[in-house]
């Protein structure tokens, strides 16, 4: 029996699903005594350090946790569950950590995107049974803006490099904790969890060069989901956002089945977009929550869900806020939520009033679940203009002139699945959303969507250079070379595609095999 400490933030379901997939029963901590009585305790954490410590204190968990840690029984902390073991964090000055290990949690101050998000390697500092069965070159999934600076080198189990060498796992006796998410790290992560559950021999891993812990560029499979004309939930795919063919919604498969296929083929993440979420309230759209629940039972890489994340008032006047919608998604197995139309409305409001309200979906969700859990999905369309000062927007000079020879363009944000253009450009939108607390940008492009002509590199370059959070390039992938182009000609951290994967034009494994040796990717896949 494994006891899981769920203090109410983020995706605990994935950890539970991963443990169950390894044949173990799980029960949750509901009272302080449950910690005292646990035989094997897992503490997964996502969200913010200060909020986590306040909740632990409020529920009376701090002393039982410290007693458990000192008792010599097995403990595994994950992500914030690692950071909690130290004395404090720059994320929440004045808020004490558990102080079980000496050291402090620091913010990344590096010349690359923060959060550190994606697949990276580990370098073992000592033998450990946790690493049994690994070869040493595996990549694991990280998502964090703060890292542990340990005051005791003897407890450091592994380190990882991201502009700075940081502690990616610690171990002392039966107490272990990892910065990465084993439950989201595919087969390698499941192996580590299995080792924790099983008590294996401690291997000495071969030495790994610092360059091998370089962050991998992510390949993401995207599933646009909606009900078809018969009312069944299907994966569909548009051409420049038009998902109908001969009047009917295209049906390219079943969401859970396709997600599982992409996981097995080596996708680094799966994104579901409920593309009619802007008009149907998602909490009424239970099938989508069910899709997430079922997917998270079988797919052990990060899951993002978008569509309809906004405040909503029911016909009978009941009000739901975006945070409630997002919480349902996290509880159902999502690691991140993606906000589209509402982000445009929020940015319009911020620009109009000259500052944030503090109440927007981006702000409220990132405050509780952390910025890494908030993705902004932008649906821009290219608008040509004759000169850079023709519009009060961020204009770029383009190598692909417009129909009348225009050498300049801007990227207009749209809402409601591209149906409505707004007076905000994609670069400004990304920048303001980052200031509000967003952790990642999913950058679509209506002109390229479904065309297989390659990503709009000019758009991606302009947005990526304007923000310090990771950018996912999307729309237009038609072959493996397009992924190489986007990773070598822009600083995008990830590339997402839909059509070529759904239609088996190119497989995810094929893309990765092509990229291997040219840019860092997660490889091997299993």
Task: List the one residue from 278, 369, 408, 523 that touches ligand 1PR (CB under 6 A).
Answer: 278
Q: Would you count residue 306 as binding ligand 1PR (CB under 6 A)?
A: yes
116, 132, 144, 181: the active-site residue: 181
Residue 39 to residue 68: CA distance in whole angstroms: 9
Q: Using DSSP, state whether 442 is helix, strand or coil.
A: strand
Applying CB under 6 A, the site for ligand 1PR has a residue count of 32
Task: List the one residue from 224, 269, 458, 485 that touches ligand 1PR (CB under 6 A).
Answer: 224
- Closest by CA position to 82, among listed 141, 170, 187: 170
Please answer whether residues 457 and 486 qualify as being in contact, where contact means their C-beta atoms are separated by less than 8 angstroms: yes
Nearer to ligand 1PR, 222 or 299 (CB): 222
Q: Would you count residue 486 as binding ligand 1PR (CB under 6 A)?
A: no
Please answer whether residues 159 and 167 qualify as being in contact, where contact means their C-beta atoms are separated by less than 8 angstroms: yes
Nearer to ligand 1PR, 174 or 240 (CB): 240
CA torsion, ordered 35, 41, 47, 50, to nearest 10 deg: 50
Residues 349-408, interacting with ligand 1PR (CB under 6 A): 377, 379
Nearer to ligand 1PR, 189 or 282 (CB): 282
Q: Minimal distance in Å, beta carbon 446 to ligand 1PR?
A: 8
> CA separation (Å) from 349 to 277, 328, 345, 346, 357?
21, 26, 6, 5, 9
Find the residue with minimal CB distance to ligand 1PR.
417
Beta bridge pairs of residue 119: 141
Nearer to ligand 1PR, 119 or 278 (CB): 278
Q: Would you count residue 456 as binding ligand 1PR (CB under 6 A)?
A: no
Q: Minimal distance in Å, beta carbon 121 to ligand 1PR?
A: 28
Residues 21-40, interacting with ligand 1PR (CB under 6 A): none
51, 138, 171, 183: the active-site residue: 183
51, 79, 363, 461: the active-site residue: 79
DSSP secondary structure of 372-399: GGEEEEE-EEEEEESSTTSSSS--EE-S
Q: Would you count residue 417 as binding ligand 1PR (CB under 6 A)?
A: yes
Token reading at 73: 């029984």
**What angle, rounded to 10 degrees, do the helices at 255-265 and 508-515 form?**
30
| 181 part of the active site | yes
| 214 part of the active site | no
Task: List the one residue from 51, 269, 449, 456 that touches ligand 1PR (CB under 6 A).
Answer: 449
Q: Would you count residue 255 as binding ligand 1PR (CB under 6 A)?
A: no
Task: List the one residue from 117, 477, 492, 521 that touches ligand 1PR (CB under 6 A).
Answer: 477
Please answer whether residues 292 and 333 qualify as being in contact, where contact means their C-beta atoms are separated by less than 8 angstroms: yes
Return the H-helix or E-strand segment holding 410: strand 408-415
Q: Would you count residue 338 as binding ligand 1PR (CB under 6 A)?
A: yes
Within the chain, how many helices (H) and strands (E) appear? 16, 30
Characterize the bridge pairing of strands 269-274 and 303-306: parallel
Residue 45 to residue 323: CA distance in whole angstroms: 18
Q: Would you count residue 411 as binding ligand 1PR (CB under 6 A)?
A: no
Task: List the one residue from 42, 78, 176, 498 that touches ligand 1PR (CB under 6 A).
Answer: 498
Please answer whether residues 79 and 105 qualify as being in contact, where contact means their C-beta atoms are separated by less than 8 angstroms: no
Compute the residue count for the chain.
526
Nearer to ligand 1PR, 79 or 375 (CB): 375
Nearer to ligand 1PR, 17 or 274 (CB): 274
| 183 part of the active site | yes
**Apex CA 233: angle with CA 495 and CA 301, to 5°?**
35
> CA separation (Å) from 486 to 192, 270, 279, 425, 426?
33, 19, 33, 21, 18
Beta bridge pairs of residue 73: none
Q: Would you count residue 10 as binding ligand 1PR (CB under 6 A)?
A: no
Nearer to ligand 1PR, 135 or 284 (CB): 284
Q: Would you count residue 178 as binding ligand 1PR (CB under 6 A)?
A: no
Q: Minimal distance in Å, beta carbon 377 to ligand 1PR?
A: 3
Q: Which residues bind ligand 1PR (CB under 6 A)?
A: 222, 224, 237-238, 241, 243, 273, 275, 277-278, 306-309, 338-342, 377, 379, 417, 444, 449-450, 474-477, 497-499
Catalytic sites, residue numbers: 79, 181, 183
């Amino acid at each position: 029996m494994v006891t899981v400490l769920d203090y109410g933030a983020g995706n605990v379901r994935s950890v539970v699903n991963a443990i169950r997939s390894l044949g173990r029963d799980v029960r949750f901590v509901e009272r302080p005594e449950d910690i005292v009585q646990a035989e094997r305790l897992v503490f997964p954490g996502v969200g913010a350090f200060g909020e986590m410590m306040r909740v632990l204190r409020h529920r009376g968990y701090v002393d039982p946790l410290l007693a458990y840690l000192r008792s010599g029984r097995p403990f595994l902390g994950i992500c914030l569950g690692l950071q909690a073991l130290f004395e404090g964090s720059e994320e929440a000055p004045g808020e004490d950590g558990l102080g079980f290990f000496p050291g402090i949690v620091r913010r990344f101050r590096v010349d690359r995107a923060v959060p550190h998000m994606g697949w990276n390697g580990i370098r073992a500092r000592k033998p450990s049974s946790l690493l049994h069965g690994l070869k040493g070159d595996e990549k694991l999934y990280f998502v964090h803006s703060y890292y542990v600076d340990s005051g005791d080198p003897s407890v450091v189990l592994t380190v990882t490099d991201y502009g700075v060498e940081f502690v990616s796992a610690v171990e002392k006796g039966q107490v272990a904790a990892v910065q990465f998410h084993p439950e989201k790290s595919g087969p390698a992560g499941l192996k580590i969890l299995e080792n924790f559950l099983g008590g294996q021999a401690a291997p000495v891993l071969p030495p790994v060069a610092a360059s091998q812990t370089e962050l991998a560029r992510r390949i993401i499979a995207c599933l646009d989901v909606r009900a078809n004309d018969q009312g069944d939930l299907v994966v569909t795919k548009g051409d420049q956002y038009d998902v109908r063919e001969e009047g009917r919604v295209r049906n390219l498969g079943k969401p859970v089945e396709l997600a599982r296929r992409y996981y097995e083929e080596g996708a680094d993440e799966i994104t579901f977009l409920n593309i009619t979420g802007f008009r149907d309230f998602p909490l009424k759209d239970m099938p989508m929550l069910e899709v997430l629940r079922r997917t998270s039972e079988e797919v052990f890489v990060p899951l993002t869900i978008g569509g309809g994340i906004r405040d909503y008032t029911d016909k009978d006047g009941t009000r739901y806020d975006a945070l409630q919608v997002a919480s349902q998604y996290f509880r159902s197995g999502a690691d991140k939520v993606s906000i589209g139309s509402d982000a445009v409305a929020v940015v319009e409001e911020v620009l109009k009033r000259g500052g944030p309200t503090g109440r927007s979906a981006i702000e409220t969700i990132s405050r509780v679940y952390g910025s890494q859990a908030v993705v902004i999905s932008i649906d821009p369309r290219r608008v040509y203009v004759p000169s850079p000062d023709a519009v009060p927007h961020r204009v770029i000079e383009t190598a692909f002139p417009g129909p009348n020879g225009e050498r300049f363009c801007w990227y207009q944000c749209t809402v409601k699945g591209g149906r409505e253009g707004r007076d905000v450009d994609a670069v400004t939108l990304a920048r303001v959303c980052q200031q509000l607390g967003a952790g990642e940008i999913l950058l679509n492009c209506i002109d390229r969507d479904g065309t297989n002509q390659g990503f709009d590199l000019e758009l991606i370059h302009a947005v990526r250079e304007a923000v310090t959070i990771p950018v996912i390039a999307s729309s237009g992938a038609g072959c493996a070379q397009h992924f190489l182009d986007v990773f070598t000609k822009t600083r995008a951290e990830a590339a997402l595609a839909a059509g070529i994967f759904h239609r088996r034009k190119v497989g995810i494994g094929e893309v990765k095999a092509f990229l291997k040796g040219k840019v860092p990717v997660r490889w091997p896949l299993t």
